[in-house]
Structure 1
Amino acid sequence: MTYRVGIIGCGQIASVFEDDEWREHPCTHAGAYNAVKETKILAVADINKDRLSAFSKRWGVKSVYEDYNEMLEKEELDIVSVTTNTSLHCKITTEAAKSGVKAIFCEKPIATCLEEADKMVKICDKEQVKLIVNHTRRWDPYYQKAKELIDNEKIGDLTSITGYFTSGLLIMGTHLFDLFRFLSGDVEWVVADSEAKIKDAANGYQKTDPSGCGFVHFKNGIAGAVLGSSKKQYLIFEVDIHGTQGRIHIRGNGRTFELWTPDTERKHISYNTPNELILEQISPIERKNNMIAAVEDVIRAVKQDSEGMCTGRDGRAALELALAFHKSVQEGGEKIALPLKDRKLRVVSR
């Protein structure tokens, strides 16, 4: 069976990022659908005529629409990708779910506030539509291997996770928050500060999404440190995971996986914990393109009537953590307990 795909939004993550020579390809929704034999892009919608034309020529898509509702009405689609600005995710997802599609593959962050995210999850549940959110590292073999080693207690009992990222709390921080939950479970409370203090606009919007740092306390007692910055003149996304019997370090923006375990040969008699950690040689981890894996997961969820690797509820939880950081900043660094009470707190990511 070939799954018929429609894409709403022709910007960077939809198609344009394929022009970036430093990225692993495919790195866009269109690129991934084009690479997976079971999917075919039948239609695309965007309000920008130039982007529509460029997308159509690049991917050979003949059915183009300036109105996505017209596309949803006229085309018989199985999967819809929502790759617009975040502020439009809720409205588009709601209309797509009602149109009869089988799955919606939505970009992160899922929404601008919890109220929107809840509406998206609810309508997809009601219409029996699979809602998958593109926190793409869920499909990365390195992070999946890290979870496997943690679950198998290869590094003993988990004690802490530290994450580093560049850019805003919603635009990139949600990737890290999603990984934190993936690796260590749900969060009980957070404390945070940001690079730019946030001021409420008269219309209720948070107009900026600064980066920030903070502390995350998991329900299982694990400590998490979040270190984000938009001021860095370089790109970084790294996760450092510590346990009682070792360490997992995924560095180089996810390109290098390291497992550190105690050196049983060298011991320091002057310390209560005498073993230093050494880099353990492990079997090569087979790499697979994250975007292709994500699209295949969407298909699998439809075929098997199962949940995907990153559901709408997962996307909501990652958003909630980012918003809790914003809330802590607003409250002068106060501890913010989860679940977050303010479902209307809205932040528009850059």
Structure 2
Amino acid sequence: MQKTWRVAVIGRSGKGNYGHGLDVVWKDVPGVEVVAVADDNKSSLADALERTGAKRSYLNYKQMLAKEKPDIVSISQRWIDQHHEMAMEAAEQECHIYMEKPFTPTLREADEVIAALESKHLKLAIAHTTRYSPVIAKIREMVTAGEIGTLVEMRGRGKEDGRGGGEDLWVLGSHVLDMMRYFNGDVEACSARVFNEGHPITKEDVVAGNEGIGPLAGDTLFATYEFQNGIPGYFNSTRNPAGSPGRFGLTLFGSKGAIRMTTGYTMEAAILRNGTWSPHFSKAQWEPIKAEEKGHSGHGGGNHLAVLDLIRAINEDSQPICNMYDARAATEMIAAVFESHRQETRVEFPLENRENPLTMLS
């Protein structure tokens, strides 16, 4: 008989809520029973119970995990200040995990979560839902086939709204950095500078970041990543620049053209088949890249494929498409920006410093 997967959902209303649909995705997954939901905001529990279709509700997620013994726990809230604590408790209770990004505030916490999950042969999937888009899969096929020639560099930007700079890197840049690795593999080193109101950040610029990020600084940053295959990647973000937040995404530049893409499961993309990278110097135009969706649309579509893939990985004892190692790698790319600024030099991977570099600024 087919196994029925017992799923528990953790959210924190007012403190990251339930992420981008990580609470409701389970309702449409065959063979899944949502046994319980936990939220430390008592006034939100009744709504969460109805929304998720859970059988029971709890104010304390530890009590929920200990009593319900779920197979999978959805750590749904966007705030990351309790991601480590919740993931460690899930590991203790032998639960697999689907988690909202970003992963954890520090690399030390990421290392501890991974070690705990490895020790019990548990799986974790991170909600970088762009990975599951049929469009990004098609783009990788096009790049491999040489449709833009030889890949020479990648350029990513954040949304560059009021969160521009350090917060943009953490909250939204996580998607773009993961996309860079999807196309280019692992990072070897990073060189970066971070500024606040035009001057290099110092300890006086460090504040408590939003969404449980922890110590944070910078309204502008510039980062260069050296990938192991020798192809560079760049990530920049400036708070509220003149221009459209539509720059948020990644552009691949090749010897014969370029591909521009946004993020998310329903991402948009286009190819320019011209080595000057500018349609103004030729008759070439940006051509949309399309691919057939595999079911649901929006965040729901990406989450749906991600949790199906997580269940597949559990059954096969393999890793999900976007797993805990990918989650840590994106976190390391973020931390490397601040570590490079702190040391005023290029930093190599893996980073020796596993704590938040902003706590060590002079």
The interval holding the TM-score normalised by the smaller chain is: 0.7 to 0.9
Q: In 2, Cα distance between the equivalents of 1:318 and 1:252?
A: 15
**Alignment match of 1:215 (pick from 220, 224, 242):** 224
1:193 corresponds to which letter in structure 2? R
After superposition, residues 53-92 of structure 1 pair within 5 angstroms as 53-84=46-77, 85-92=79-86
2:7 corresponds to which letter in structure 1? V
**Alignment match of 1:338 (pick from 318, 339, 349):** 349
Deviation at 1:186, TM superposition (A): 1.3
1:340 is paired with a residue whose SS is: coil
Deviation at 1:145, TM superposition (A): 1.8
Deviation at 1:345, TM superposition (A): 2.2
1:146 is paired with a residue whose SS is: helix
Query: Which residue pairs with 1:224 in the alignment?
Result: 233
Query: Which residue pairs with 1:95 in the alignment?
Result: 89
**Contact 1:246 / 1:260 at 8 angstroms: preserved in 2?**
yes
Q: In 2, Cα distance between the equivalents of 1:307 and 1:120?
A: 15
**Contact 2:336 / 2:347 at 8 angstroms: preserved in 1?**
yes
1:285 lines up with 2:291 in the alignment: yes
Q: 1:202 to 1:260 in 2, by over 3 A?
A: closer
Q: In 1, Cα distance between the equivalents of 2:178 and 2:140?
A: 13
The TM-score with structure 2 as length reference comes to 0.80
Query: Which residue pairs with 2:298 in the alignment?
Result: none
2:6 corresponds to which letter in structure 1? R
Work out the number of aligned pairs and report it: 325
Unpaired segments of 5 or more residues in structure 2? 276-280, 295-300
**Alignment match of 1:51 (pick from 28, 44, 64):** 44
The TM-score with structure 1 as length reference comes to 0.83
Q: 1:4 to 1:256 in 2, by over 3 A?
A: same
Query: Which residue pairs with 1:130 in the alignment?
Result: 123
1:313 corresponds to which letter in structure 2? Y
Query: Which residue pairs with 1:311 in the alignment?
Result: 323
1:231 is paired with a residue whose SS is: coil
Query: Which residue pairs with 2:297 in the alignment?
Result: none
Deviation at 1:290, TM superposition (A): 1.1
**Contact 1:156 / 1:246 at 8 angstroms: preserved in 2?**
yes
**Contact 2:22 / 2:74 at 8 angstroms: preserved in 1?**
yes
Q: In 1, Cα distance between the equivalents of 2:142 and 2:207?
A: 48
Q: 1:206 to 1:100 in 2, by over 3 A?
A: closer
2:320 is paired with a residue whose SS is: coil
1:279-315 CA-partner distances (Å, limit 9, x unpaired): 4576x40124211111111111112222101111111
- CA RMSD of superposed structures (Å): 2.9
2:23 is paired with a residue whose SS is: helix
Deviation at 1:126, TM superposition (A): 0.7
Deviation at 1:229, TM superposition (A): 3.2
Query: Which residue pairs with 1:258 in the alignment?
Result: 270
Q: 1:305 to 1:164 in 2, by over 3 A?
A: same
1:246 lines up with 2:257 in the alignment: yes
1:159-193 CA-partner distances (Å, limit 9, x unpaired): 01111212422111111111111111111222223
Deviation at 1:60, TM superposition (A): 3.0
**Contact 1:185 / 1:219 at 8 angstroms: preserved in 2?**
yes
Unpaired segments of 5 or more residues in structure 1? 18-26, 264-273
2:302 corresponds to which letter in structure 1? N
Q: 1:287 to 1:40 in 2, by over 3 A?
A: same
Q: 1:107 to 1:13 in 2, by over 3 A?
A: farther
Q: 1:8 to 1:209 in 2, by over 3 A?
A: farther
1:2-21 CA-partner distances (Å, limit 9, x unpaired): 3211111244898666xxxx
Q: In 2, Cα distance between the equivalents of 1:16 and 1:277?
A: 44
Deviation at 1:195, TM superposition (A): 4.6
Deviation at 1:336, TM superposition (A): 2.1
Identity, % of aligned positions: 29
Query: Which residue pairs with 2:4 in the alignment?
Result: 2
**Contact 1:30 / 1:41 at 8 angstroms: preserved in 2?**
no
**Contact 1:11 / 1:83 at 8 angstroms: preserved in 2?**
no
1:30 lines up with 2:23 in the alignment: yes
